[in-house]
């Protein structure tokens, strides 16, 4: 008998629609809020740098529900990073910042979960970050709000609570590289396509979570995301 293979991309819920957003790639921007860049040991406005997570690292969480995330193996220091996520609806290469919004389908709130102890060791050795950043379920994400409904948020509170205590708080206006610039620069390196997600960096206050913790993130005018660490 011939073996059959099939792959189904993760589908992220789209607010106000029965359709899902099929994930093609997950790009992430590092150190995009000044205060967080400082807590990670950098200074000033360096060119943005990118890393990726596999598409199936996405952990879609429907609105009003709490997504269960398994505590990943090989770490004793799992960190939360709450981020604005851009969902690409129209692809392109060498996109100009001035026309970047035309390529964005919508926005969501996401968590760039990180095995910080592994990342610290990889940084020290100058090695790639994949095992620290691209593990299974490392990208919880809430429903995508179409830009047609909410516009393109350039400011607004972004925050994360753990068990009801505030851990991270920032404002989208404090991004070092703003969304159109990120789309423009990323599209110089990769041809963007519908289904791509871009995690745009996290504000200060990253820290560890443990089994049993409940994470609640929110971004003004974009939505909220609830995840329980199992």
Site stretch for Mn ion (CB under 5 A), options 34-42, 74-82, 142-150, 179-187:
74-82
Min. distance of Cβ 81 from Mn ion in angstroms? 4
Binding mask 112-151 for Mn ion (x = CB under 5 A): x---------------------------------------
Beta bridge partners of 79: 114, 208
Tell me the closest approach of the beta carbon of residue 17 to Mn ion, in angstroms: 27
Nearer to Mn ion, 112 or 196 (CB): 112
Find the shortest distance in angstroms from Cβ 96 to Mn ion.
Answer: 25
Residue 31 CA to residue 114 CA, distance in Å, equals 13
Instruction: Please say which residue, 112 or 161, places its beta carbon nearer to Mn ion.
Output: 112
Cβ proximity to Mn ion, 103 vs 133, nearer residue: 133
Radius of gyration of the chain (CA): 17
DSSP for 138-165, written as a single string: -EEE-PBEEHHHH----S-EEEEEETTE
The answer to whether the beta carbons of residues 50 and 28 sit under 8 Å apart is yes
| Complex with Mn ion: residue 75 or 146, whichever CB lies closer | 75
- All residues at 6 or more sequence positions from 129 whose CB lies less than 8 Å from its CB, including other chains: 51, 119, 122, 123
What secondary structure does DSSP assign to 43-86, as a single string?
A: -S-PPPEEEEE-GGGEEE--TTSEEEEPPPSS-S-EEE-EEEEE
Residue 160 binds Mn ion, judged by CB under 5 A: no
- What residues does 51 pair with on adjacent strands? 28
Among 187, 202, 218, 226, binds Mn ion (CB under 5 A): 202
Minimum distance, C-beta of residue 63 to Mn ion, in the bound complex (Å): 23
Q: With binding defined as CB under 5 A, does residue 81 bind Mn ion? A: yes
Residues touching Mn ion, count (CB under 5 A): 3
Closest approach of Mn ion to the CB of residue 45, in Å: 17
The CB-of-201 to Mn ion minimum distance in angstroms stands at 6
Q: Measured between alpha carbons, how far is 185 from 157 in angstroms, rounded to an integer?
A: 25
The site for Mn ion (CB under 5 A) is made up of: 81, 112, 202
């Amino acid at each position: 008998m011939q073996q059959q293979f099939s792959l189904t991309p993760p589908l992220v819920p789209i607010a106000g629609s029965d359709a899902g957003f099929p994930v093609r790639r997950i790009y992430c921007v590092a150190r995009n809020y000044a205060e967080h860049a400082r807590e990670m040991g950098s200074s000033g406005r360096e060119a943005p740098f990118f890393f990726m997570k596999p598409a199936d690292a996405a952990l879609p969480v429907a609105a009003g529900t709490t997504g269960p995330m398994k505590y990943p193996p090989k770490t004793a220091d799992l960190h939360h990073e709450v981020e604005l996520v851009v969902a690409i609806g129209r692809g392109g290469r060498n996109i100009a910042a001035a026309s970047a919004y035309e390529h964005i389908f919508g926005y969501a709130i996401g968590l760039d979960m990180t095995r910080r102890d592994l990342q610290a060791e990889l940084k020290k050795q100058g090695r790639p970050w994949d095992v620290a950043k691209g593990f299974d379920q490392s990208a919880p994400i809430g429903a995508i709000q179409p830009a047609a409904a909410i516009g393109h948020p350039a400011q607004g509170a972004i925050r994360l609570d753990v068990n009801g205590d505030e851990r991270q708080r920032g404002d989208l206006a404090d991004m070092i590289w703003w969304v159109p610039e990120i789309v423009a620069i990323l599209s110089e390196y990769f041809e963007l396509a519908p289904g791509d997600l871009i995690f745009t960096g996290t504000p200060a206050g990253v820290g560890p979570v443990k089994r049993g913790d409940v994470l609640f993130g929110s971004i003004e005018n974009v939505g909220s995301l609830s995840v329980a660490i199992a």
